[in-house]
């Protein structure tokens, strides 16, 4: 059913297609991916064939030319696999590491990185966070120094989703001596180059996605590796983070709705003291409150996405949507676990996995606290 | 402010509304708060401008707007910072007059609606009773069918405008055995024999509006003052309550935003321990938390407004909006007051009023718990628990 | 019933006595006091006669020589009048403005101020807060300068409970030029002296207690007005604040328990949809949660009081008890209002008054935020 | 640490317990978490020291302590930072062996309790079933009286130590018509015909303890393995559950404190934006909020312990302590994890384990909702809603 003003019948159709795909090709196997700690690369090619990898990219780079709400649909529906890892890895591929190439890249960079990425042939990752600078982009220490016709990269990046197997990284490094926000630049770095050292990291959740710590030991990249303008890396990456945060909010909606659906179905079916669990008012009201919380985050995210698609959006609005949806999904999934009781704690149901997975929503793409700093700054509270 | 919901014409009306509020209402807040009511000449002045019937057709003296325009008016009214004024005016127009427009006969509209929209008579809706609370189906005020009409017997509690109103739209049961299907609405003139104001209630907030306990002691109501269909009352009330909930949510968001804006202003100006209050990260993040809370309520309220405006069933959206906004505005005004510290507790600072006014939103128009019951039923979670 | 390890049968007996007194002599008239904005001074003399004004002071100064838990009982029971104003005023008289006299005062000061205060003959107030320094004792600007045989006081104090009618003030003023915590001293100031200007303040709650803004315009006090050691005022007043905060916590327990009792009785009696309100699980569970919150604050306060009475207590422990009980009583009374619905919002029941009154618990005697600063400092978090 | 509740002798025992935990348990956490159980030789080593029977008389190999001493042991055990270890050991001693001591015959004690306290056999308590959850009265495992004893038929879920245990204390109904008054306890040896471990459950946390689904397929239980009175089971279980709740609350407080301590350590060491994390007021106040939350749980748990130790009915105090601690430890470990940011999500940092382990506390031993039901009834708020 169309859902004005955001979704048309076309979005609905796409939603059904994705939902079917998820049910048939992801949900049945995702537990294995979780077990081995990575998804199979085949699935990217398969999704590219189905037209799921470039929904809101233009056809000339291999995209489907859809609007931003197509991306929202995809994020919501992928979350219904009950595992956050693979959707996160996919979002890195399509909405985090690659949009800057489309936006700031040369024709050659687009041909070499973006188009293969959207075909599922190259795996992308994004290098912002460093071991000593969690959320502090201004503190980035990885250096890229000009040498001859190219650059020499030295430094470390951590918590890199897709890192262990990625073919290239969209990397933020310091190219100037000005401290803080200035003097950062973006690079596209092939990860088979000498001097790239990766260490796999072990996470408590999101386990169908693999994560790495990178060390770049005097890695030599050509001049053409520079993405966008030299010294503008901070602004480029701030732009990227907007999309990253918004798609994370959309994914949170999908996860929360799925957890709610599971808990509601369970509570209706489960009998306790001779009635169904929803016959207990505290459970019924809790479900009503969960639905309300989901709806609030949903409307906030949709409104933000609507404005984002039109370019009339501030970092504050996106940070708010991300903050609200991250807290919401954590609360909703936690309550769903509680409703299932002991069953929520064991792996027979996807909720224990989702509970671990969604915890990252309050940490990744900027912690809750960083979101609040961004918001308070735009509210004019920070610098008075 | 133009966005996917409100367009430029709404923004223009908002400017007008803001000016009217600033001129006609804002200067009198302290006086009306002290006196406990909005004077009748204010109704007349607003009526002349059409503001008592933003959504009503021009033939009845309204502005011929729609739900979006009325929403704009409600929001601006809330920003006066005294919920009682909004309560008095909405008690009159939104819930008092709307039933006359929706279900009144041509004669009823001429006699009551037109002067009501002009502000020449003040209306009130009398539904809640001491025993029943949120349980409309259990109301005990009875309208006995008698020759030529009905005889009304019973009492009503928490009637906004009940002391000052000239006419009352009263819910009574014609047939208690039919429970909620036995309810009808009646237009009762205050001056009729047997209509008694038992007392004016002393309230925590909303003090610019009067709230009454009323007693109907065998009041003879002529048949022509039955409003709409006999036994139609419950459905009518549900429709009125639905819109009331949406307007309460919108007003709560506006009030909360005002409270946060004032707290921010205070935090910028006030120094503690050698720096401005907003130099403290805890103050800043606290204000962000309040803002996030408002935003959640705001989008829910806007969704409910939009769904209603589209002509779709907004029951679920309105219940969510009201439930969330009622709890939000309590938390947010409380948090804003805390920013002011000791001054937040002092009467000269209006934040204490916002905080007191906010407290009714999770109670009036159906408590949060009743909203959740509606959701439980309408979302298919479980059977209605309260019945 | 004795309540080990805190209350003996003797405390119980005292509790019954106070409860009867409150029911008979305060509750019936407190609404009038609220209306006029002050309590009648007679009630202090009456309570002195009954032995309620100096429960934990030694007999030599007119006290009853009880232990600290007698004071806890008194604070809890006075709160059951359903009005916070008068109990607050009384606490200023017995637990805030006067303990420093007993602790640091000369025999003459005790005779002149403490003993009459405990007889209800002199009304005391405490002057710490200033218009520009809410919670910041170190920022105090009121000056006392030596002049001749005495001192000349200049400055302002605000939010002074009992201020409009008090006979004397225990005042904190700056006597030295060292900024911050040093150079503060305590004074006992007769308030009928020339140059003392009072303005009555209008509060949203606690209305049976009157409050003033003071201006001291070159007020001349004798040398003997100095209380305790010169320059030690900060430490003296920090000691005082411990007792003030703890007694505020005890009062919060009493208010919360009273609100719970009202809400529980109401919910049992009230019928809705053909059952009693406690027949709705959300209401019943809410009451259970309220009882639990009260109990947590109670045990924390009692444990703290036990240690306080033995002198084995830190500012952090007291700040924790105060913070927890202030938040608790606000939440409990708010939930009680919600249970009563429209009845909670009107003055037919004491809850709307209590809701306004207890709000001050999170502001007075140091805001929640100040409590957290104190706690974080002692946790070793603040200065690293 | 000596205070009104714990005295110097308890502090001394705490030192000993701490040493034992540090030597015998702490070095093996990662290994046992990976393997999913605590090896049997650990039980034996602890048993030799008496730590499997802190509260049990010395004649059975215990330490002859009381509830306070066992509380000390439970707290120190929790501070190892792996809830599964505490679960495995308490599943054996606190809820597995205690019924043998309390209601066992001399013969049962010699045969099962004494080797149990020595750690030579591992015990488990099997009560919960897939269908019933918290509703013990509804359990479906039946013990049919047969010649010479009973025949046990049914299945059990969420049995801590169920995979590795040598003996099981099984709750079954001898007469379903009597509902909860028809329940008895039986000592079942794992090796008996018909006792089947259906599977080992894969859990979010408490991974050092094994959790089983068991099936009793017509297991013949001799009459001498009936534990206590026939039909006495429900009362016995209530007593065991009461103490279990108190110990869970105590352990939750200890775990939460450990989480906050580690978060504080991290906040002191980690720099962000050019200063240590604890240079941020929001971090500091956040840690204070967590501390206040812990303190509330701590005093409730201590109260419950004290009332129980006094020999008074601790049902209310224990329900409050368990309800509060279960929610607290979830909030606190979550907040502590947040302080670590991305590192909080990484397996090498133990906080992620505390956070996973904490999640069971509001579910196991009776959910928070069940605790509130107990309070509703015992505080006289209303009738028991669940039944």
User: pLDDT tier at A58 (50, 70, 90 boundaries)?
Assistant: very high
Minimal Cα distance from A279: which residue of B?
A: B382
pLDDT at A381: 86
Kindly state the DSSP code that residue B58 receives in the 8-state scheme. Answer: G
> How far does CA B236 lie from the centroid of its chain?
16
Residues A254 and A213 in one domain: no
Range of the domain at A252: 235-378
User: Is A383 inside a domain boundary?
Assistant: no
Return phi, psi of residue B362, to 5°: -85, 5
Average pLDDT over chain A, rounded to whole? 95
Q: Which chain D residues in 321-380 lie under 8 Å from chain A, judged by CB atoms?
A: 330, 334, 337-338, 341-348, 352, 355-356, 359-360, 362-364, 367-369, 372
Q: Do B341 and C135 touch (CB under 8 A)?
A: yes
**Measuring CA to CA, which residue among A188, A194, A175, A170 is closest to residue A224?**
A188
CB C365 within 8 A of CB C322: yes
CA D40 – CA D37 distance, rounded (Å)? 9
User: pLDDT tier at C383 (50, 70, 90 boundaries)?
Assistant: low
- The tokens for D190 are 């794992």
Residues C242 and C340 in one domain: yes
pLDDT digit string, tens, across residues A155-167: 999 999 999 999 9
Q: Is B206 left (phi over 0), alpha (psi -120 to 50) or beta?
A: left
Q: Which chain D residues in 316-375 lie under 8 Å from chain B, judged by CB atoms?
A: none
pLDDT at A384: 42
Residue where one domain finishes, among candidates A231, A251, A277:
A231
Is the CB of residue B7 less than 8 Å away from at least one CB of chain D? no
DSSP string, B202-214: -BSS-TTS-EEEE
User: Is A365 inside a domain boundary?
Assistant: yes
Closest partner residue to A320 (CB to CB) among B283, B292, B376 is: B292
CA D376 – CA A146 distance, rounded (Å)? 72
CB B165 within 8 A of CB B213: no
User: Is C3 inside a domain boundary?
Assistant: no
DSSP string, D110-156: IIIIHHHHHTSS-EEEE---TTTTT-GGG---EEEEETTEEEEEEEE
Burial class (CB in 10 A: 0-12, 13-18, 19+), A230: middle
Kindly state the DSSP code that residue D293 receives in the 8-state scheme. Answer: H
- The tokens for C175 are 């006597």
What is the number of CB-based contacts under 8 A between chain A and chain C? Answer: 8
CB-CB neighbours of A1 under 10 Å: 5
**C91: pLDDT strictly greater than 60:** yes
Kindly state the DSSP code that residue C40 receives in the 8-state scheme. Answer: -
What are chain B's domains? 8-122 (1.10.540.10), 124-231 (2.40.110.10), 234-384 (1.20.140.10)
- Quote the number of domains for chain A: 3
Residues A244 and A194 in one domain: no
pLDDT at B136: 82
Tell me which of A172-181, A366-375, C163-172 is least confident.
Answer: A172-181
Residue where one domain finishes, among candidates A71, A103, A118:
A118
Q: Which CATH number is A130's domain given?
A: 2.40.110.10
User: Which residues of chain B fall below pLDDT 50?
Assistant: 387
CA D181 – CA D233 distance, rounded (Å)? 8
Residues A83 and A155 in one domain: no
User: Is A374 inside a domain boundary?
Assistant: yes
User: Is C212 inside a domain boundary?
Assistant: yes
User: pLDDT tier at A313 (50, 70, 90 boundaries)?
Assistant: confident
**Angstrom distances, CA of residue B321 to CA of A84, A254, A261, A299, D259:** 29, 21, 21, 11, 37
**DSSP-H helix ranges across chain B:** 8-20, 29-35, 40-49, 67-78, 83-92, 98-103, 106-108, 114-118, 233-269, 281-309, 315-339, 351-358, 368-378
User: Is C276 inside a domain boundary?
Assistant: yes
Q: Which CATH number is A249's domain given?
A: 1.20.140.10
CB A128 within 8 A of CB A137: yes
CB A213 within 8 A of CB A198: yes
Q: Collect all residues of chain C within an 8 Å Cβ-Cβ radius of residue D375.
A: 288, 291-292
pLDDT at C282: 96
Q: Is D345 left (phi over 0), alpha (psi -120 to 50) or beta?
A: alpha
DSSP string, D161-227: TTTT-SEEEEEEES-GGGGGGGEEEEEEETTSTTEEEEEEPPBSS-TTS-EEEEEEEEEEEEGGGEE
Chain D closest-CA separation from residue A323 CA (Å): 14
Is the CB of residue B289 less than 8 Å away from at least one CB of chain A? yes
Chain D closest-CA separation from residue C186 CA (Å): 31
pLDDT at C381: 86
**Angstrom distances, CA of residue C122 to CA of B207, C112, C117, C210, D48:** 38, 9, 5, 15, 69
Q: Which CATH number is A76's domain given?
A: 1.10.540.10
CA A197 – CA A213 distance, rounded (Å)? 8
Residues C170 and C137 in one domain: yes
CA A300 – CA D193 distance, rounded (Å)? 60
Burial class (CB in 10 A: 0-12, 13-18, 19+), A116: middle
The set of catalytic residues of A is 244
Q: Which chain D residues in 150-209 lie under 8 Å from chain A, judged by CB atoms?
A: 157-158, 201-205
* Active-site choice (C77, C244, C293, C352): C244
SS (H, E, C) C297-312: HHHHHHHHHHHHHHCC
CA A115 – CA A120 distance, rounded (Å)? 9
Strand partners, D142: D153, D173
pLDDT digit string, tens, across residues A95-146: 999 999 999 999 999 999 999 999 999 999 999 999 987 777 888 999 999 9
pLDDT digit string, tens, across residues A182-207: 899 999 999 999 999 999 999 999 99
CA A322 – CA A365 distance, rounded (Å)? 9
First to last CA, chain B: 44
Q: Collect all residues of chain D within an 8 Å Cβ-Cβ radius of residue B285.
A: 282
Residues C191 and C249 in one domain: no
Residues C362 and C239 in one domain: yes
Helix or strand holding residue C221 (H, E)? strand C211-222
Which residue in B297, B320, B382, B387 has the most chain A C-beta atoms within 10 A of its own C-beta, making it the best mutation to test that interface?
A: B382
Q: What angle separates helix C233-269 from helix C315-340, to the nearest 10 degrees?
A: 30
User: Is C383 inside a domain boundary?
Assistant: no
What whole-number percentage of chain C has pLDDT above 70? 99
pLDDT digit string, tens, across residues C223-279: 999 999 999 999 999 888 899 999 999 999 999 999 999 999 999 999 888 889 999
Residues C187 and C245 in one domain: no
- Preceding peptide of D153 cis, ω within 30°: no
Strand pairing class (D183-189; D226-227):
antiparallel
CA B156 – CA B139 distance, rounded (Å)? 9
* Residue tagged 């105590």 (tokens): D250
User: Which residues of chain D fall below pLDDT 50?
Assistant: 387
CB within 8 A of D226, min separation 6: which ones?
D149, D150, D184, D185, D186
Residue where one domain finishes, among candidates C72, C103, C118:
C118
Residues A276 and A350 in one domain: yes
Q: Do C292 and D323 touch (CB under 8 A)?
A: yes
Which residue in C278, C279, C281, C338 has the most chain A C-beta atoms within 10 A of its own C-beta, making it the best mutation to test that interface?
A: C281
CB D180 within 8 A of CB D194: no
Strand pairing class (D167-173; D183-189):
antiparallel
Q: Do C285 and A285 touch (CB under 8 A)?
A: no
* Residue tagged 């509330």 (tokens): D296
Is the CB of residue A352 less than 8 Å away from at least one CB of chain D? yes
CA B27 – CA B14 distance, rounded (Å)? 19
CA C1 – CA A317 distance, rounded (Å)? 58
pLDDT digit string, tens, across residues D228-242: 999 999 999 999 999
CB A122 within 8 A of CB A97: no
Residues C156 and C287 in one domain: no
Is the CB of residue A360 less than 8 Å away from at least one CB of chain D? yes
Q: Collect all residues of chain C within an 8 Å Cβ-Cβ radius of residue B368.
A: 338
Q: Hey, is A123 helix, strand or coil?
A: coil
**DSSP-H helix ranges across chain D:** 8-20, 29-35, 40-49, 67-78, 83-92, 98-103, 106-108, 114-118, 233-269, 281-310, 315-339, 351-358, 368-378
pLDDT at D385: 61
pLDDT at B134: 66
pLDDT at B385: 60
pLDDT at B387: 43
Residues C253 and C199 in one domain: no
Helix or strand holding residue C276 (H, E)? strand C275-276
**Measuring CA to CA, which residue among C178, C173, C165, C54 is closest to residue C118?**
C54
pLDDT at D384: 63
Residues C73 and C160 in one domain: no
User: Is C246 inside a domain boundary?
Assistant: yes
């Amino acid at each position: 059913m169309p859902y004005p003003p955001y979704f048309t019948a076309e979005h609905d159709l796409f939603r059904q297609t994705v939902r079917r795909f998820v049910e048939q090709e992801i949900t049945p196997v995702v537990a294995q991916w979780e077990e081995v700690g990575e998804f199979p690369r085949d699935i990217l090619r398969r999704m590219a064939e189905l037209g799921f990898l470039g929904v809101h990219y233009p056809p000339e780079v291999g995209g489907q030319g859809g609007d931003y709400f197509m991306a929202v649909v995809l994020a919501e529906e992928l979350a219904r696999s009950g595992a956050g890892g693979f959707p996160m890895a996919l979002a890195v591929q399509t909405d985090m590491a690659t949009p800057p190439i489309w936006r700031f890249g040369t024709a050659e960079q687009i041909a070499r990185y973006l188009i293969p990425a959207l075909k599922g042939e190259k795996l992308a990752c994004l290098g912002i966070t460093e071991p000593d600078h969690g959320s502090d982009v201004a503190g980035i220490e990885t250096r890229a120094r000009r040498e001859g016709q190219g650059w020499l990269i030295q430094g470390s990046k951590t918590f890199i989703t897709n890192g262990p197997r990625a073919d290239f990284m969209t990397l933020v490094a310091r190219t100037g001596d000005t401290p803080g926000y200035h003097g950062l630049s973006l690079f596209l770095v092939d990860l088979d180059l000498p001097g790239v050292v990766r260490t796999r990291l072990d996470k408590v959740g999101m386990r169908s996605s693999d994560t790495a710590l990178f060390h770049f030991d005097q890695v030599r990249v050509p001049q053409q590796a520079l993405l966008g303008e030299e010294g503008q890396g901070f602004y480029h990456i701030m732009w990227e983070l907007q999309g990253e945060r918004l798609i994370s909010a959309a994914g949170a909606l999908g996860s929360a709705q799925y957890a709610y659906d599971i808990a509601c179905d369970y509570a209706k079916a489960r009998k306790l003291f001779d009635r169904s669990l929803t016959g207990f008012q505290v459970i019924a009201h809790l479900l009503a409150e969960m639905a309300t919380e989901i709806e609030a985050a949903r409307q906030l995210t949709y409104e933000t996405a609507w404005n984002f698609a039109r370019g009339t959006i501030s970092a504050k609005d996106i940070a708010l949507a991300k903050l609200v949806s991250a807290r919401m999904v954590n609360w909703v999934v936690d309550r769903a676990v509680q409703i299932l009781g002991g069953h929520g704690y064991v792996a027979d149901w996807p909720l224990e996995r989702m509970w671990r997975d969604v915890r990252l929503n309050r940490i990744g793409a900027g912690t809750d606290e960083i979101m609040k700093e961004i918001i308070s700054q735009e509210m004019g509270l920070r610098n008075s | 402010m133009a966005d996917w919901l409100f367009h430029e014409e709404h923004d223009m009306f908002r400017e007008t509304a803001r000016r009217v509020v600033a001129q006609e209402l804002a200067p009198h807040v302290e006086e009306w708060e002290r006196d406990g009511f909005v004077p009748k000449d204010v109704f007349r002045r607003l009526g002349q401008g059409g503001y008592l019937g933003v959504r009503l057709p021009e033939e009845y003296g309204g502005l011929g707007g729609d739900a979006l325009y009325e929403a704009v008016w409600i929001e601006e009214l809330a920003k006066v910072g005294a919920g009682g004024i909004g309560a008095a005016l909405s008690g009159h127009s939104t819930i008092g007059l709307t039933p006359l427009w929706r279900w009144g006969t041509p004669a009823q509209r001429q006699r009551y609606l037109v002067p009501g929209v002009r502000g020449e008579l003040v209306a009130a809706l009398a539904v809640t009773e001491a025993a029943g609370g949120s349980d409309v189906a259990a109301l005990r005020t009875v309208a006995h069918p008698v020759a030529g009409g009905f005889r009304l017997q019973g009492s009503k509690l928490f009637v906004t405008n009940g002391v000052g109103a000239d006419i009352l739209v009263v819910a009574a049961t014609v047939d208690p055995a039919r429970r909620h299907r036995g309810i009808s609405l009646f237009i009762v003139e205050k001056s009729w024999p047997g209509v008694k104001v038992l007392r004016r209630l002393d309230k925590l907030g909303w003090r610019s509006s009067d709230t009454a306990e009323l007693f109907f002691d065998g009041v003879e109501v002529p048949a022509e003052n039955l409003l709409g269909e006999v036994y139609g009352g419950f459905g009518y009330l549900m429709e009125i309550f639905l819109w009331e909930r949406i307007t309460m949510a919108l007003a709560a968001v506006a009030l909360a935003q005002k409270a946060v804006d004032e707290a921010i202003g205070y935090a910028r100006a006030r120094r503690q321990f050698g720096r401005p209050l907003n130099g403290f990260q805890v103050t800043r993040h606290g204000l962000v938390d309040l803002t996030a809370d408002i935003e959640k309520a705001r989008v829910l309220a806007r969704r409910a407004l939009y769904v209603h405006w589209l002509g779709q069933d907004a029951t679920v959206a309105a219940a969510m909006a009201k439930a969330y906004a009622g709890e939000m505005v309590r938390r947010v005004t409380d948090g804003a007051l805390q920013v002011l510290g000791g001054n937040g507790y002092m009467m000269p600072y209006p934040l204490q009023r916002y905080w007191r006014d906010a407290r009714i939103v999770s109670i009036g128009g159906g408590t949060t718990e009743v909203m959740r019951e509606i959701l439980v039923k309408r979302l298919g979670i479980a059977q209605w628990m309260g019945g």
